[in-house]
Amino acid sequence: MPQTPPVKPYAQLRAETAGRDRSLHDKVVTLDAAAALIRDGEHVAIGGCMMSRTPSALIWALVRARRRNLTFSRSIVSSDGDIVFASGIAKKVITSWFSQGIVWGISRVMRAWTESGRAEFEEWSHMSMGLRYRAGAMGLPFMPTRSMMGSDVGRLRAGTTKDFVCPFTGEKLLLLPALNPDVAIIHVQRCDQFGNPQIDGLPFMDHDLALAAKRVILTTERIVSNDQIRRQPDQTAFPFFTVEAVAEVPYGSAPHECYGLYEPFFKHMDLFAEMTRADVEKGVEDYLKRFYFEPKSWTEYLDRLGLNDLLVATRAGRSIYDD
Amino acid sequence: MTSLLQRNYTSSELLAVMASRTLADGQTVFAGVGIPLLAATLAQRLHAPGITLLFEGGVLGPFIVPGELPPSTNEQRCTRRANMILPITDVLLLLQRGYVDIGFLGGAQIDRYGNINTSFIGDPAKPKTRLPGTGGGNDIASLAKIVVAMKHEKRRFVEKVDFITSPGFLSGGDSRARAGLPTGGMHKIVTDLAILGVDPASKKLRVEALHPGVAADQVRANTGFSIDFAPNATVTDLPTGRELEVLRQLDPAQLYTA
C-alpha cells in the first residue's frame, strides 16, 4: 500500500491558503451540509484524542453519506477508527494508537480489518504525529525529532522519513514529513457564526490541525454570539479564518466525551465492545444499522443512546468543575 | 516461604506496589494508564508526595481522585487538580527537552535488551495479531529512563520481540546510543515474580531482586531466554497493609488490580 500522503510543495500550500475567503462571514451550515463539504478520497484529520472531543456526529454523517476512500489521521483513535473501517468510508487510518480503550482490550474491528488486509493502520509515534501536524501548521516541509530512531516503528516508516545529521552539532536526528490534511474536522464547546472556536479543557493537537489543514470544518455544542467570543478571546483556540463551516450539534461527541459537558457514555462503549466481541463482522454491521443508518436524525441517534446514559454522562461531565 | 494460598493480594496488586517503590520523591513521572498510573499514584500517597505526574493527553501534575481512575490518559478525569493542561505535542516535547525523570509503561512483549513490542504479534507484514501500537510509548522509551510493570510469563519475556515498538537497549552494548538515542533507556522491570535491572556493560536484563516466596528457578522457567542474576540480588519486602489499603481505595472496582 502507498505510504503516508506526500509532503505538499510550498507553492501549493500557499496557493491553497490564498484561495480562501478570509473575511468575517457567516459560516453556519447543517450537519449534512458540513459532511457534503468533504469529498471522496480526501485526507481528513480528526480533532480531539481517543474518547475526547471526537467529532462523532460529523463522522456519523460521513458514514450515512457513504463517502469512499477517505484517509483519516488522528493523534489516537478509539471506536471512531473502528467505525470508519467497518462502514467502508476509509481504507486507511494514520495514527499512533488504535483501539477502543485499554479497559476493553484490543479492538476486534481494527484487528479484523487490518489483519485481513481490507484496511491499513499506518503507525507513527504519538509525538511524531504531533510534530508532523506542527510542521504542516508552520508551513515547513518537515520537523526534526530525536524520537522513533532505532525502533521498528521508525523502520516501517523509513520510506517517508529521512535520517539526518545536524549541521550544527553533528548529532543524529530523524526528519518527519509534514502532514497537511485536506480537511480537519474538530468538535468544540462553543463557536460563533464566523467560526471563532472556543475550547474548554484539553486542547490536544487541534490548533496544529487547524493550521495544517487546507480546510477546517467545525461542529459545536452551541453557537454563541461574536460579542460573547470577544469577551474571552484568550479562550479562542485557533483563527476563525482557518474555518470553512460550522454546524451546531449538541452532544456532537457522543458516545465520547466533551470536556465539562459529558464524559464518555461508558455503558454504550461496553455495548459496542460486546456487540463486536463474538462475531465481529455481523456485530459491527448490526451496530451500524441500529445506530448509524436507521436513525433519521442526530436527535434520533441520541434517542437510541438513551436518556439514562445521556444523563449519567452529563452528570459526570459537569462534575469536573466541582471541588 | 509464602505460598500462593497465604497471599492476601493479587498479582496485579503486587505489581502495583512493587512498581510504586521504584519511584522517588520529587521525580517527574510520565505515566500510562493502568498499573503505571496506579503505582505512581500509590507512591504519591505514601512515600513520594512530591511526584509530578505527566499524562500524554496533555496534563501536568494532576491528583487522581480515588475511585475515579481515568479510562485513558486523554479524558477529563485525568485533569483533576492538575497544575496545567497543555497540547499533546507540547507535553511529549517535555521528554525531548529533558524534564522527565521516569517514563512508566506497561508492555505486551519484552526481550533480553528491554525492547518492548505493543504493535504486532508475528510478521508485521502479515501479523497474527495487530496490537494497538505505540501511542506515546516509543517517544517515552526513546527519551526517558523507563520503568516497566508487567506479568512475568514466558510468552511475554522472549529472546527477540517480533517488533520493536519502544526501544530498550536495542541489540545491547552501545547500540542504543549509536542509533541516535544517547539518553534514557530501560531502568527497571517490575514483574509479579521479580525486579529486573540492566547489566551496565552488556545491557542485558538481569534479576536484581526476587519477590518473597519466589524461587530463582521460577523466574528462569517463566523467562523465554537465559537470564543472569545480579551478584548482590536480594529479596523484596512483602506489600504492607498500608500499601494494599491505599491501593484498594484508589481502585475499589478493581479495574486494573483484579
- Best A75, A120, A127 residue to mutate vs chain B (most B CBs within 10 Å): A127
Q: What is the CATH number of the domain that holds A243?
A: 3.40.1080.10
Given a cut of 50, is residue A1 above it in pLDDT? no
- Give the three-class secondary structure for A86: helix
Confidence at B1, pLDDT banded by 50, 70, 90: very low
Cell of B39: 503505582
pLDDT, tens only, B89-100: 999 999 999 999
Q: Which of B76, B130, B166 sits opposite A320 (nearest CB)?
A: B76
Residue A149 lies in a domain: no
> Tell me: domain B4-250, CATH 3.40.1080.10, correct?
yes
Scan residues 228-257 of A and list those with Cβ closer than 8 Å to B: 257
Residue A2 lies in a domain: no
- Shortest Cα–Cα distance, A145 to chain B (Å): 8
Q: What is the ipTM of this complex?
A: 0.97
Whether B208 is a known active-site residue: answer no
Cα angle A6, A8, A11 (rounded to 5 degrees) comes to 160
Given a cut of 60, is residue B191 above it in pLDDT? yes
pLDDT, tens only, B140-158: 999 999 999 999 999 999 9
- Best A152, A280, A321 residue to mutate vs chain B (most B CBs within 10 Å): A152
Mean pLDDT check: name the lowest of A111-120, A275-284, B103-112: B103-112
pLDDT, tens only, A127-143: 999 999 999 999 999 99
Please tell me which residue in B13, B56, B208, B243 is annotated as part of the active site.
Answer: B56
- Shortest Cα–Cα distance, B145 to chain A (Å): 14
Residue A229 lies in a domain: yes
CB contact set of A289 (below 8 Å; sequence gap of 6+):
none
For A74, the domain range is 27-140+179-285+294-321
Q: How many domains does chain A have?
A: 1
Given a cut of 80, is residue B2 above it in pLDDT? no
Q: In what order do the strands lie in the sheet with B109-111?
A: B116-117, B109-111, B157-158
Residue with cell 441500529: A290
How many interface pairs between A and B have CB atoms less than 8 angstroms apart? Answer: 181
Confidence at A103, pLDDT banded by 50, 70, 90: confident
Given a cut of 70, is residue A45 above it in pLDDT? yes
Residue with cell 482490550: A105
**Count of helix runs (H) and strand runs (E) in chain A:** 13, 11
Residue A150 lies in a domain: no
User: Which residues is A162 bridged to in the sheet?
Assistant: A175
What's the whole-number mean pLDDT along residues A21-33? 97
- Whole-number mean pLDDT of chain A? 97
Q: Scanning every residue of chain A, which has its alpha carbon at the shortest distance from the alpha carbon of B161?
A: A152
Given a cut of 70, is residue B5 above it in pLDDT? no
- Give the three-class secondary structure for A5: coil
Nearest CA-CA partner of A187 in A52, A42, A33, A29: A52
What's the whole-number mean pLDDT along residues B216-242? 96
CA-CA distance, B166 to A153, in Å (whole number)?
Answer: 8
CA-CA distance, B35 to B250, in Å (whole number)?
Answer: 11
Residue A167 lies in a domain: no
Q: Which of A50, A125, A130 sits opposite B134 (nearest CB)?
A: A125
Q: CB of B75 within 8 A of CB of A51?
A: yes
Residue A53 lies in a domain: yes
Residue A18 lies in a domain: no
Q: Do B88 and A130 touch (CB under 8 A)?
A: yes
What's the whole-number mean pLDDT along residues A91-111? 95
Q: CB of A41 within 8 A of CB of A14?
A: no
Residue A170 lies in a domain: no
Domain extents in chain B:
4-250
CB-based contact, B255 to chain A, within 8 Å: yes
Mean pLDDT check: name the lowest of A206-220, A244-258, B223-237, B244-258: B244-258
CA-CA distance, A114 to A112, in Å (whole number)?
Answer: 6
Length of chain B, please? 258
- Best A54, A95, A102, A318 residue to mutate vs chain B (most B CBs within 10 Å): A102
Cell of B107: 508492555
